[in-house]
Structure 1
Amino acid sequence: MLKKQLSELTKPYYWMNILLSISYVVAKKCIPLCTKLFTHRGEEMCQLDSRETEILFFLLIVVMIRSRKTGSVTMVNYLSASFLYTKVANIILWSYSDFRYGIAFLLLCVLVSSILPEPSYRGPEHITYFRNMQTFEEELVRDKRINWLICFYTVWNPSCVNFAPIYAELSSEYNLENLKFGKVDIGRFPDVAQKYRISDSSFSRQLPTVILFKNGKEFERRPCGDARGKLQKFFFSADNVRAAFGLNQLYKECIENPMKKPKQLITTATESAKKTQ
């Protein structure tokens, strides 16, 4: 697992954003660079002053809080969730030193983000993407022998972005004819969110929401409310999803009770008819 994460960090997107995130502190601590950049005030400013220290300390608190809220459970996810806040803090720090530096750093961030977008999952997946509410509900009841695990998400939410590769890997691992995986973008289809009582606001703690449907009806969901109706926090790691929805047991049950194909049904009916004659 660690080897895979370290390999992921070698991608240009990550190391460039790490460099941007630490650029101001490195510039301050590297004496040759500091003397060139910060002597415009008539003195060498190669130490962090109290205001700069406060900004960095506040950044640390924000990153920790936001990363916990987004359920960043791996090093890669933690970094991805923190890049936005660290770059904003660096824009403030560079602007605090010199407004021109702040503008230049902002333009550099825009350039890097356009050239090096965040890497997306490229592995195998078995996911049905539902494009409207009617298709989604028709599929749920079309064949009630099929168990559906559905992820309700939005494209802009960090928790949903972090969970996407995990969900894709789970779909590849557990997909069967009678155990299928689907996704619904409730940002595009708010009527689905309304029906299943999922908030898609910027402050929502329900993104993503994963629901297991059995016999065409909701059987289990995460996150869910407790006995008092208070929403319980849920970290969307692969192991937590397996445990919460009993995927291993469900997969075993689906293997032991496969869906009969039309030919099998015809053969069975023919054999039954012969026995009665």
Structure 2
Amino acid sequence: MEVATATEASAPAASAGPSRRSHPFPWLDLAISEPYYFLHLVAFFSYFAARSTVLSPDDGGELPSRLLRREIQAVLAFLVLFVVKIVKEENWETFIGDSLLYAKGLLLAVTLVIDYWLTITYLLGFLVIYAVAQQPPYDGLGHSNHLTPLQLEGLLTEEPATRFWLVEFRTSFSGTCIQASSVLPELSNIYSNKNISFGIIDLGHFPNAAAKYGISMWDHLPTYILFDKATEVARFPEITSESKVFVPKITKKLLCQHFNLDRRLIEYLSR
């Protein structure tokens, strides 16, 4: 059973990295090339056109000053939330997703001052964007491998080259999966060795694997399972009634502690 090696798996990400770093404005290239970012960019910039249409230079009275105060309040609130997210978030995908959510909420609040029909128009526009475009996931693999369920079964049962496999089960249509898509590749760059390997299975392509591994397609995605050869030894989130009420946000620190990756790395290095 052949699976791309860690070096081969990380080659596309490595080759893409320099080209992105060499671009003077990589964020601008991403904003134009990705429909999700481009449509949001158009929606936010359209506010200035809508504002100038409603308010003429000769307008006086309460509305322009009230709108200006609301705009200043919205900008200040966004900057505070922006700084908080920079401090708290571990990955770029979650930071961008949450920042856009805050920006959309504040934009809707500002447009209420102008006209509630304008607010409804923007709300419908954001719903259309949500329906036609998705936030792009992290495009690197690190030292992880994209696997099929058959490949995973073979790796676990047919003389496994490594004792442990930490596998992420995700779908491309889940916002939570997209925002957590960089966590496993980044962990694999730190902890991948001859004792533990990392893999990713897209349940959107292999839905039958969800039932096989006891994973719900409608909640608890992504799911991470640690296999010791062919035996499951831990998973996150765990299958309990409590975990269905609240699942903490997925971070590298959370998974590292849950699966004891530091201890497993120390055990490997101390051999």
Q: Taking structure 2 as the reference length, what is the TM-score of the superposition? A: 0.60
Fraction of identical pairs, as percent: 22
Is the CA contact (8 Å cut-off) linking 1:129 and 1:182 kept in structure 2? yes
- Pairwise CA RMSD of aligned residues? 4.5
1:73 matched residue in structure 2: 89
Q: What is the Cα deviation at residue 175 of structure 1?
A: 1.1
Q: 1:213 to 1:79 in 2, by over 3 A?
A: same
Question: How is 1:59-138 mapped onto 2 (pairs within 5 angstroms)?
Answer: 73-74=89-90, 76=92, 77-83=94-100, 86-87=103-104, 93=111, 96=115, 102=121, 106=125, 121=138, 125-131=142-148, 133-138=149-154
Q: 1:82 to 1:199 in 2, by over 3 A?
A: farther
Q: What is the Cα deviation at residue 252 of structure 1?
A: 2.3
Q: What is the aligned counterpart of 2:174 among 130, 135, 157?
A: 157
**Larger Cα-atom Rg:** 1
Distance, in Å, in 2 between the alignment partners of 1:106 and 1:89 is 15
Distance, in Å, in 1 between the alignment partners of 2:263 and 2:135 is 35
1:219 matched residue in structure 2: 233
Distance, in Å, in 2 between the alignment partners of 1:174 and 1:214 is 16
1:179 matched residue in structure 2: 196
1:139 matched residue in structure 2: 155
Q: 1:152 to 1:11 in 2, by over 3 A?
A: same
Q: What is the aligned counterpart of 2:254 among 196, 217, 240?
A: 240
AA paired with 1:141?
T
Q: What is the Cα deviation at residue 180 of structure 1?
A: 0.4
Distance, in Å, in 1 between the alignment partners of 2:45 and 2:169 is 35
Segments of 5+ residues of structure 2 without an aligned counterpart are: 1-24, 32-36, 82-87
1:262 matched residue in structure 2: none
Q: 1:135 to 1:216 in 2, by over 3 A?
A: same
Q: What is the Cα deviation at residue 98 of structure 1?
A: 6.0
How many equivalent residue pairs? 213
Q: Which has the higher contact order (CA 8 A, sep 6+)?
A: 2
